[in-house]
Amino acid sequence: MFPNGLIAFVFGYLLGSIPFGMILTRIAGTQDLRSIGSGNIGATNVLRTGRKGLAAATLLGDMVKGTVAVAVAGLLSGPGAAMAAALGAFLGHLFPVWLKFRGGKGVATYIGVLLGLFWPAALAFCAIWLLVAFTTRYSSLSALLASLATPLLLWGLGHPQFALLFTVLTMLLWFKHRENISRLIAGSEGKIGAKA
């Protein structure tokens, strides 16, 4: 199974490293995403361009690449390969080789791989995200709290291997959000809908 798992990881990484935010905004003729807002390549920063359609397309693309990686690997080589592909896709989004390993923060891809592995938990993640976002208007806080709940939910629903995987993914997601965490503590974090 190791060769299959390794191939699945590489496959997931290559899919995950596709920078949909960069590609779509470049096609649309907007300025370089890395020069505005947070400098991030994800949907939240794309939204700061004022192009809601592009932001939605970026969100969808970043989700689907994770789901496809998991689904294909799982179909061809089973659940172990699906988990390897999930890890690869997430790392690919966070650290894409094409962008000198400076990628996004991983929220959409996190949801995508979760959807591919156990869709009820993905629905729960989105519900928590929406609740926190509606209440606070902080996208980062919504993602942080939803990701924190995910491994606990997976464990409680009888999926300890998925829980372990998403503990790792959650730690990586929090690491990528470390500047957001500092701004949240300082009260200077930008809210959803606020211009850069």
pLDDT at 195 over 60: no
What pLDDT is stored for residue 90 in this prediction?
98
Average pLDDT over residues 92-99: 91
pLDDT band (50, 70, 90) for residue 39: low
- Residue 158 CA to residue 160 CA, distance in Å, equals 6
Question: How high is the mean pLDDT of the chain?
Answer: 89
Domain residue ranges of the chain, discontinuous segments joined by +: 2-186
* Whole-prediction pTM: 0.90
Q: Check: CB of residue 139 under 8 Å from CB of residue 183.
A: no
Looking at residue 137, what DSSP letter applies? -
Residue written as token pair 């690491």:
175
pLDDT at 44 over 80: no
- Residue 177 CA to residue 181 CA, distance in Å, equals 6
Contacts 24+ apart (CB under 8 A), 157-165: 157/118, 157/120, 157/121, 159/118, 159/121, 161/83, 162/83, 162/117, 162/118, 162/121, 165/83, 165/86, 165/87, 165/117
What would the pLDDT profile of 135-193 be if each residue is shown by its tens digit?
999 989 999 999 999 999 999 999 999 999 999 999 999 999 999 999 999 998 888 76
